Structure 1
């Protein structure tokens, strides 16, 4: 089962066959395609948990796949076993809380708020504007 099939199946399982958010599934399909996550990935959904296994072309693609799946409405947990072709430092993840800005997150992660652009770029195209983050969203914080 490909990632696009997973999105459709997840919507059906989480919201019921007739209530699946087709427009959201289409948006996620486009986002995943834009990320270039066409790797050999198998995705399973059990309740509110997503399990992803397979291979991704890079550590960044692996992390973005996890974020894309984890930020789907109704998904509480992502379990993964994704191998990557080349070893890179793993990024950290940050769950946005009320009052967070990329500047504040950058200050906490790097000791310098002016590096917020690195966090923004690490989460593109999932983020289209550095000022549009929301509580509960999980962001990728690249290694310094």
Structure 2
């Protein structure tokens, strides 16, 4: 898929004082950030055993490589890595399996999963499809926030 853009000011606060550390030792800061992001992906219940995560602090980009079990896991890994405060993009060019065109949605102020489902599928009652596609990153259908990127599964 290539580079997937995110809003770097939104997301989980994992990187702490990364800018201060990056000024002192950019390589160590990048490795620390990559480790924190990989750990966060793992805490979402996603298998990271064959996943390599790299972070470039200058471009604020996460690069994912290796392999994951399936396309559903790949989509969840990408949004988990990108929904971290300070991450502006996720590159998955070297992450297997290759995926067909996957759709994403950037949450805006006032959005609900029902409203997104109505916009995408034409039926607000299909919000559980979006919720399930974004678990475990979403713990409740009501816990989305502006700037978050969600996976939108194909209509079945």
Q: Which residue does 1:61 correspond to in 2?
A: 73
Q: Which residue does 1:127 correspond to in 2?
A: 138
Contact 2:56 2:62 in 1 (8 A): yes
* Correspondent of 2:47 among 34, 37, 62: 37
TM-score with structure 2 setting the length: 0.71
| Residues 1:92 and 2:96 are matched in the alignment | no
Q: Which has the higher contact order (CA 8 A, sep 6+)?
A: 2
Q: Distance between the aligned counterparts of 1:35 and 1:105, measured in 2?
A: 25
Contact 1:39 1:57 in 2 (8 A): no
1:83 deviates by 1.1
Q: Which residue does 1:71 correspond to in 2?
A: 83
Q: Distance between the aligned counterparts of 1:88 and 1:143, measured in 2?
A: 13
Alignment partner of 1:100: what SS?
coil
TM-score with structure 1 setting the length: 0.76
Q: Distance between the aligned counterparts of 1:92 and 1:63, measured in 2?
A: 10
Any stretches of 5+ residues in structure 1 without a counterpart? 1-9
Q: Which residue does 2:64 correspond to in 1?
A: 52
